[in-house]
Structure 1
Amino acid sequence: MSVLPAFYLADTLAPRFPAAAAALTAALTAAGAAVNTLPGTCDVWARDYMPLPTPSGNQVLFRYTPDYLRPRRYHSTITDAAAVLRRLGLPFTSSPLVVDGGNVVRRFGRVVMTDKVLRENPEVPQTQLLASLANALEVDHIDLVPAHPRDFTGHADGLVHLLDERTALINDCRAQEPSLWANLQAALHRAGFDCVPLPYNPYQNPDFTSAVGEYINFLCVGSTLIVPTYQQPEDDAVQRCLQGLYPGHDIISVDGRAIARQGGVFHCVTWSSELAGHRGE
């Protein structure tokens, strides 16, 4: 039986979302993962500012200066991830490229990112940028998909979840957003993926910041899925869909509303120093 990587939650999560943090910690523990705390953080979105682990065991710390945090009023929300890593005693290497961890969907030796990474690094020619990213992440190439046109973060982890090396789960937005559906499918098909729709319904949210109704940001922890619920009809449909797609997996449902209203769900608020895809994910 493979050993699961430890998961980390920002030390800002429990004070801001005590019930959600407790429920997520309990779910991760029930799945067999150790849960630790990132000290000295400035916001809860650990996935975005912490480094990306690679197959060789390296930790690549990209520059976390996304365009949506560049106004001075947001500077106090940017965590010094290098300082966090030093407190934890974890080694890392730094990259000059601007990358949010939430824009990296990685499993089975594949990496999917949205084209937002091109806009975040305009001074680097596209071919050079993609080659540098592939080299840093120790993969053959990067598969690009279009960012959601209304998602200011441009993150891939709200669009895609890799079921296996040839199959991608994507939000079932075909009725409400047919152009996005077509463009996302086309990009993934070019990359060699078959696409499977996952129920999705954020269309009652007051603004696009809220991720309520988005399920694709679930966690796969060994043979357990930790899936957000929102007390809407799609909750049951998602569970049935995932039970069929992940035979032999347990599903733990956790209320995701409090966190999702702020813009992300469970993948967004968790980080691991190990590459889970090489340890049984």
Structure 2
Amino acid sequence: MKHLNASPTPLELGFRMPAEWTEHAATWTSWPADDELWFGALEGVRTEFAQLVRTISQFEAVHLLVRDEESERDARARLEGVRVTLHRVPLDDVWFRDNGPLFVTRPRESGPDEVSFVNWEFNAWGGKYHYRRDTLAPEALAGYLGAAHWDQGVVMEGGSLELNGEGVALTTRSCLLSPERNPGLTKDGIAALLRDFLGIEKLLWLDEGLEGDHTDGHIDTITRFVGPHTLVTSVEEDTRDANHATMQANLERLRTFTDLQGRPFEIVELPLPRRRLEGPEGRLPPTYANFYIGNGFVVVPTYLDPNDERALDILRPLFPGREVIGLPSREIIRGGGSFHCVTQQQPIGSIWKGDDLDES
């Protein structure tokens, strides 16, 4: 397989990252394995993971990374009869949205799109946890897929970016500008990289994310595109809660944003869970915005909270033609994220081998 660095860039070859709601060939995820990382709750986490994988597999193919023999044995037992492909890949943790690759596609005049990906660096959100094995995972995928791809020596996490599929992306300053990720890399430098490697033409910045979010404010926990011109954003209705002012500031800023044609976005407010959840390291960041969009479905995390059904009722009309499914994530949130954080979509298309580069 071909490994590319900076030239030619994906953009120069016509590749761009598509929106999540475009058709998938498969979903990639990883099996939870470390009881210590899950603060002794691994059994409950695996139960919720199995339900998530079973649900996704009813709609599209699932590729599951398992880090060792015990993980593989456990996954096979819990997923008996499920359409899933297992891959033995050494891993530190399960947050494949962030340590996995970001796929890009290129349209062809005839036939399916071509699919490649960018392999960014991953450093566990500024070196907070072990990550040396996690950052190698995209190469394992490249070997399985036989994909030519780009290796980019910049830290970039999938959860830090939210794309509308038409050249616009959202992110947060607190995350992408944190000095523990890419010291010295400016807003303009980040925007240029995302343009060249993902085809993002307009990068819009919110300030912060949720209290207790160890990712430093990933956008996929607060604000999500549900269509090219519509987004949902989390709001905290309790004025005494620390998230209230932050989410309100984000809402006001979102109202000033426009797409590439200068049109404002339609904004739908999505409540946060009503009950505060605490973990061993402090406040947890439960949110309904961490949903995952797939072929004919959307899986939404729920928390045995009074706002669970209310959030589902808000989201269902926003996804016509897709079944909006609430699944429990009260155990998974102990690790700091939920369904979007642990999944990565592979767009439908033929895997790009880079053969056309031999002709240039």
Give how far 1:202 is off.
6.1
Q: Name the aligned partner's letter for residue 257 of structure 2.
A: A
Give how far 1:76 is off.
5.7
Structure 2 CA distance for aligned equivalents of residues 76 and 202 of structure 1: 37
> SS of the counterpart of 2:170?
strand
User: Which one has a larger percent helix, Structure 1 or Structure 2?
Assistant: 1
Q: Deviations over 1:231-262 (max 9, x none)?
A: 11111111211223233431222111111121
Given that 1:42 and 1:79 are in contact with CA atoms closer than 8 Å, whether structure 2 keeps it comes out as no
Give how far 1:14 is off.
10
Answer with 1 or 2: which has the greater Rg.
2
Matched, 1:29 2:57: yes
* Change over 3 Å in CA distance of 1:11–1:67 after alignment to 2: closer
* Change over 3 Å in CA distance of 1:85–1:148 after alignment to 2: same
Matched, 1:45 2:76: no
1:201 is aligned, of 268, 273, 298, to 273
Given that 1:12 and 1:41 are in contact with CA atoms closer than 8 Å, whether structure 2 keeps it comes out as no
Please list every run of 5 or more consecutive structure 1 residues that lacks an aligned counterpart in the other structure.
Answer: 277-281
Give how far 1:77 is off.
6.7
Q: Name the aligned partner's letter for residue 99 of structure 1.
A: M
Matched, 1:185 2:242: no
> SS of the counterpart of 1:18?
helix
**Higher alpha-carbon deviation: 105-114 or 202-211:** 202-211
1:51-66 equivalence runs, <5 A:
51-56=101-106, 57-66=115-124
* Change over 3 Å in CA distance of 1:58–1:86 after alignment to 2: closer
Given that 2:98 and 2:122 are in contact with CA atoms closer than 8 Å, whether structure 1 keeps it comes out as yes
> SS of the counterpart of 1:148?
coil
Give how far 1:143 is off.
1.6
1:103 is aligned, of 160, 177, 188, to 160
* Change over 3 Å in CA distance of 1:228–1:125 after alignment to 2: closer
Q: Name the aligned partner's letter for residue 266 of structure 2.
A: D
Matched, 1:152 2:214: yes
1:248-267 equivalence runs, <5 A:
248-267=321-340
Structure 2 CA distance for aligned equivalents of residues 237 and 86 of structure 1: 41
Q: Deviations over 1:161-182 (max 9, x none)?
A: 1122222101122433342123
Structure 2 CA distance for aligned equivalents of residues 209 and 44 of structure 1: 20
* Change over 3 Å in CA distance of 1:3–1:274 after alignment to 2: closer
Match of 2:109 in 1: none
Given that 1:220 and 1:226 are in contact with CA atoms closer than 8 Å, whether structure 2 keeps it comes out as yes
Given that 2:122 and 2:156 are in contact with CA atoms closer than 8 Å, whether structure 1 keeps it comes out as yes
> SS of the counterpart of 1:142?
strand
1:91 is aligned, of 148, 169, 181, to 148
Matched, 1:223 2:296: yes
Q: Name the aligned partner's letter for residue 177 of structure 2.
A: L
* Change over 3 Å in CA distance of 1:105–1:201 after alignment to 2: same
Q: Name the aligned partner's letter for residue 285 of structure 2.
A: A
Match of 2:196 in 1: 135
> SS of the counterpart of 2:177?
helix
Match of 1:124 in 2: 185
Please list every run of 5 or more consecutive structure 2 residues that lacks an aligned counterpart in the other structure.
Answer: 1-21, 36-41, 66-88, 107-114, 259-264, 350-360
**Higher alpha-carbon deviation: 217-226 or 202-211:** 202-211
* Change over 3 Å in CA distance of 1:201–1:149 after alignment to 2: closer
Give how far 1:205 is off.
1.3
Structure 2 CA distance for aligned equivalents of residues 96 and 68 of structure 1: 15
User: Which one has a larger percent strand, Structure 1 or Structure 2?
Assistant: 2
Give how far 1:69 is off.
1.9
2:345 is aligned, of 264, 269, 272, to 272
1:169-184 equivalence runs, <5 A:
169-175=232-238, 176=241, 177-184=243-250
1:61-80 equivalence runs, <5 A:
61-69=119-127, 74-75=130-131, 78-80=134-136
Q: Name the aligned partner's letter for residue 155 of structure 2.
A: V
Structure 2 CA distance for aligned equivalents of residues 186 and 160 of structure 1: 13
* Change over 3 Å in CA distance of 1:232–1:226 after alignment to 2: same
| TM-score using structure 2 length | 0.68
- How high is the sequence identity, in percent, across the aligned residues? 23
> SS of the counterpart of 1:181?
helix
Q: Name the aligned partner's letter for residue 323 of structure 2.
A: D
Given that 2:24 and 2:346 are in contact with CA atoms closer than 8 Å, whether structure 1 keeps it comes out as no
Structure 1 CA distance for aligned equivalents of residues 60 and 248 of structure 2: 37
